[in-house]
Amino acid sequence: LLCVSGNYDAAGAICNVSACSGGPTSDTDGSAYYDACNTMYTGDSCTPQCVIGYQPVGSFILVCPDTFYNASGATCDPTRCFNGAYNAPPIADISLCSQLVTGGTCNPVCPDGYSIRSTQVICQANNTFDASGAACLPDPCTAGPSSGLDPPAIYSACNAL
């Protein structure tokens, strides 16, 4: 800038837009990719790309004073398991699992007279949950009949079923 007769002469001044090639200064959880943002400039709007199983929420206006930018205006949140279960046990109630998000787990519920065997249901990155390790097994009968006692009958053989 030149000062000529009390006025500034800005004819030779040029403002260059700052490139945003240095990457974000925040959001280091690994769920977002900023490759597209790293090719933009100050003033551009950017939404990160998310890893499978996550979805972008929000965007941010890039401000890159020294090639780096703050990406805190946008996140990648886990998606819900909306595609249902595969390998689900036939009598298990897995309705509680429909609220899972990527990486979440839940326990199926078995009907009365059955117990759950081992594993939890896990929400996969493809928006389904794997219930292959869960099973509802019948509870053993160990106390004899609760009604209809027939005195001549022997129920001890049934108690092991």
pLDDT tens sequence across 121-150: 888 888 887 777 778 888 887 666 665 565
Contact 140, 160 (CB under 8 A): yes
pTM here? 0.59
Question: Residue 33's beta-bridge partner residues?
Answer: 49
User: Which residue type, as a one-letter code, is found at position 41?
Assistant: Y
**Predicted confidence (pLDDT) per residue in 62-108, tens digit:** 777 778 877 777 788 888 887 666 677 778 887 777 788 888 888 88
Contact 88, 134 (CB under 8 A): yes
Return the pLDDT at 27.
Answer: 57
Radius of gyration, alpha carbons of the chain: 31
Return the pLDDT at 34.
Answer: 82
Kindly tell me the burial class for residue 101, based on how many C-beta atoms sit within 10 Å of its own C-beta (0-12, 13-18, 19 or more): middle
Find the angle CA(94)-CA(98)-CA(102) to the nearest 5 degrees: 120
Taking 80 as the threshold, does the pLDDT of residue 61 lie above it?
Answer: no
